[in-house]
Amino acid sequence: MPAHNFDILGLGNAIVDVVAAVPEAFLAEHKMVKGTMQLIEADAAEHLYAAMPPGVESSGGSVANTCAVAAGLGARVGFLGKVADDQLGEVFRHDITAASVHFPTPALVGGAPTARSLILVTPDGQRTMNTFLGACVTFSEADLDPALIAAADVVYLEGFLFDPPPAQAAFHAAARLARGGGKRVALSLSDPFCVARHRAAFRALLAHIDILFANEAEIQSLYETDDFATAAAAARRDVALAVLTRSERGSLILRGAEQVAVPAAPAVVIDTTGAGDAYAAGFLAGLAAGRDLAASGWLGSRAAALVIGQYGARPRLGLRDLAAN
């Protein structure tokens, strides 16, 4: 059992991002849907990488980003996810550790390499992701440390981690352990296509979820509707706390009969990579610090604005100032 408790324990893909700026035409040429994430195999990753402009590498992964930002905002955070014992795995481990996140998962030895996401940023600041999951597909129940889960107030699950099959089992086990210990379980739906791939499984999982994070496209995909209000009403019914983000229209937080609308914070759009992750970080760090829903949502909005205003998903400066206000 760790000596101290954690406010947040994240479970997610352990990924290194390769970010490059591309013109709009690049997406069409490579048949990508802007703003989404697609999974690609090793061969396709190699082919796409060869076609990409020079890039910049930094640690990524949706929930891992949330963990790094939440730690920067003062929360006590742990993360579980699978890297390989290679150079990119070392980079991932260094960065999340240096961000003050406890990261005990051992590296995969002798298997697939560390996951990477080839992220293309168009001139409008939108990011389109192509992820080769590599070592992440081996994340399993064996990587869960029950003592660690028992020591966390909120266990935060990444929807993307549903793609590798052994991780689904780990999700259910983590949720069971957390709730058995009286702790809360949060889930991010991650991406509308990820939701479509696993709709039934996500719907079934909701019974074990306390806090649901989703953007408009994701929640509408989950409930197979093109009407946001319909989707929001369904989310309100299915989970104790639903946190729905709407880009520049801010977020809507639903808890039973309560409903809080939070505005977006002003931002100059440079690169939207990690905006949703940063919002979740602000919201969860706010709750951990005892803030109410509106104040937690506003911390989420401001963290998202900080991330949008610079390249990359983990801002190097400015988080402490946000947390102090």
d(CA 79, CA 283): 17
Q: Is 21 an interacting residue with respect to a second copy (CB under 8 A)?
A: yes
Residues 42-71 vs a second copy: string with x where CB under 8 A?
Answer: -------xx-xxxxxxxx--------x---
Q: CA separation (Å) from 88 to 17, 58, 83, 137?
A: 10, 9, 8, 16
State in angstroms the smallest separation of the CB of 77 from a second copy. Answer: 14
Task: Report the residue number, 92 or 162, with the smaller CB distance to a second copy.
Answer: 92
Cα separation values, 24 from 32, 67, 120, Å: 10, 31, 10
Residues from 112 through 131 that contact a second copy (CB under 8 A): 113-114
Nearest to 166 by CA among 93, 108, 100: 108
Tell which residue, 229, 209, 208, 205, has the closest CA to residue 219.
229
Question: Shortest distance, CB of residue 57 to a second copy, whole angstroms?
Answer: 4
Compare residues 41 and 57 and give the one whose CB is closer to a second copy: 57
34 binds a second copy (CB under 8 A): no
Q: Specify whether the CB–CB gap between 135 and 14 falls below 8 A.
A: yes
Does 245 interact with a second copy (rule: CB under 8 A)? no
Question: Considering the rule CB under 8 A, would residue 182 count as an interface residue with a second copy?
Answer: no
Which amino acid, residue 240?
A
Asked if 158 interacts with a second copy (CB under 8 A), we say: no
Q: Looking only at Cα atoms, what is the longest distance across the chain?
A: 52
Q: Measured between alpha carbons, how far is 231 from 219 in angstroms, rounded to an integer?
A: 6
CA atoms within 13 A on the CB side of 7: 23
Residue type present at position 142: A
Residues pairing with 108 in the sheet:
84
- Lay out the site mask for a second copy across 65-104 (x = CB under 8 A, - = otherwise): ---x-----------------xxx--x--xxx-xx-----
Quick one: how far is CA 300 from the chain centroid? 13
In the shown chain, the binding pattern of residues 202 to 241 toward a second copy, with x for contact by CB under 8 A and - for none, equals ----------------------------------------
Q: Write the single-letter amino acid at 131.
A: T
Cβ closer to a second copy: 59 or 220? 59
Residue 26 in the binding site for a second copy (CB under 8 A): no
Q: How many residues bind a second copy (CB under 8 A)?
A: 30
Chain-centroid distance of CA 297 in Å reads 16
CB of 59 to a second copy, least distance (A): 7
Interaction of residue 269 with a second copy, rule CB under 8 A: no
List of residues contacting a second copy (CB under 8 A): 18, 20-21, 49-50, 52-59, 68, 86-88, 91, 94-96, 98-99, 113-114, 311-312, 314, 316-317
